[in-house]
A and B are shown apart, each in its own frame.
Chain A
Amino acid sequence: MAASIAPECNEVKEKYDTCFLKWYSEKYLRGNTSSNDCEELFSKYKTCLNKSLKDKGIDTMIEDARKGNKESDAEHNRRS
């Protein structure tokens, strides 16, 4: 799996990615879309990551990009 932008988050990121991939292939793709097995790991990873993104000033760049993505959401986040 790819590394994190914040080396101090690599360990928890690796655990989360492994958990997600297992959930994705074994549950999500088999129709069990509502389970969330990796929520706790994701929350730990996010706490670690968000701190680093804030320190690097990337959080505000992401906020701006989010605003520009509203159209894609409207187009793709619905049943086709």
Chain B
Amino acid sequence: MKVFSSLCTFDYSWEEVSTANWRKYCPWNDKSTHVVAVDTISRTVDSETGILRTERLITCDQSAPQWVSALFGGGATSHVYEVSYVDPNSKKVTMCSSNLTWSNVLKVQETVIYQPSSLTPTHTTSFHQEAKITALCGGWQKIKNKVEEASVERFSQNAKRGKEGFEAVLEMSRRVFGEQRERDTGKLAS
């Protein structure tokens, strides 16, 4: 097993980040173009805790490095199952994802947490991402290691692009919400 982890801070409030997170993969994000569809398959709010639990199916157009596909077969489309939990009281978003495609060859389990940062909790949000990558293919340890290394490399490239893309979504969201607010206040005043 190999572990990829990264930690960063977004200069936006937790409310802004947790809202924009729902449209992380929209046309405003021109960096995560490998994500072709995002579907919500279930959504509930726990009446006792207020925690919002959402299940999504994420469809990607790029599944694995070419030599890995050549080795194990498989098409260009892959699916990821994601369960997220929003706790509005403690202001915490936790997202757990696992791959549906190739799951007999490679297991990728990712956990992402968004929380108000400890230094400036009202203005900035910390993002912690961790992925555990395990090659399951039987046989040579050498091949397993190669597959895991290539997967971590691919994961880290996507993570970097994902962050850049999300920054663009955050910026656009703030602009659009600002304009909406202005329109609403304008309407009230007139």
Chain A residues within 8 Å of B, Cβ to Cβ: 1-6, 9, 13, 16-17, 20-21, 24-25, 28-29, 31, 33-34, 36, 42, 45-46, 49, 53, 58, 61-62, 64-66, 68-69, 72-73, 76-80
The A-contacting residues of B in range 86-111, CB under 8 angstroms, are 86-90, 92, 94, 96, 98, 100-101
Q: Is the CB of A79 within 8 A of B49?
A: yes
- In the bound assembly, the distance between CA atoms of A21 and B46 in angstroms comes to 18
Q: A24-B22, A29-B18, A76-B85 are in contact. Are A5 and B39 (CB under 8 A)?
A: yes
- In the bound assembly, the distance between CA atoms of A6 and B100 in angstroms comes to 18
Closest 10 CB pairs of A and B: A2-B38, A65-B81, A33-B50, A76-B85, A5-B37, A2-B25, A61-B100, A72-B96, A79-B49, A25-B19
Residues of A within 8 A of B81 (CB): 61-62, 65-66, 69
Nearest opposing residue in chain B for A16, CB measure = B40
Q: Is the CB of B87 within 8 A of A13?
A: no
Q: A1-B26, A2-B37 are in contact. Are A77 and B96 (CB under 8 A)?
A: no
- In the bound assembly, the distance between CA atoms of A7 and B41 in angstroms comes to 16
- In the bound assembly, the distance between CA atoms of A62 and B61 in angstroms comes to 18
What is the interface size of chain B, counting residues whose CB is below 8 A from a CB of the partner?
A: 42
Q: How many A-B residue pairs have CB under 8 A?
A: 107
Q: Which of A13, A65, A68, A73 has the most CB of B within 10 A?
A: A65
Q: A58-B57, A62-B81, A77-B51 are in contact. Are A29 and B15 (CB under 8 A)?
A: yes
Q: A33-B52, A33-B88, A65-B100 are in contact. Are A76 and B15 (CB under 8 A)?
A: no
Q: Is the CB of B83 within 8 A of A4?
A: no
B23 in the interface, Cβ–Cβ < 8 Å? yes
Q: Is the CB of B88 within 8 A of A3?
A: no
- In the bound assembly, the distance between CA atoms of A2 and B47 in angstroms comes to 29
Residues of A within 8 A of B53 (CB): 73, 77
B26 nearest CB across to chain A (Å):
5
Q: A21-B22, A76-B94, A78-B49 are in contact. Are A42 and B43 (CB under 8 A)?
A: yes
- In the bound assembly, the distance between CA atoms of A45 and B15 in angstroms comes to 26
* Cross-chain contact of A5 among B59, B86, B101 (Cβ < 8 A): B59
Q: Is the CB of B36 within 8 A of A3?
A: yes
Nearest opposing residue in chain A for B19, CB measure = A25
Q: Mark B20-60 against chain A: 1 for CB-CB distance below 8 A, else 0.
A: 00110110000000011111110101110111110101010
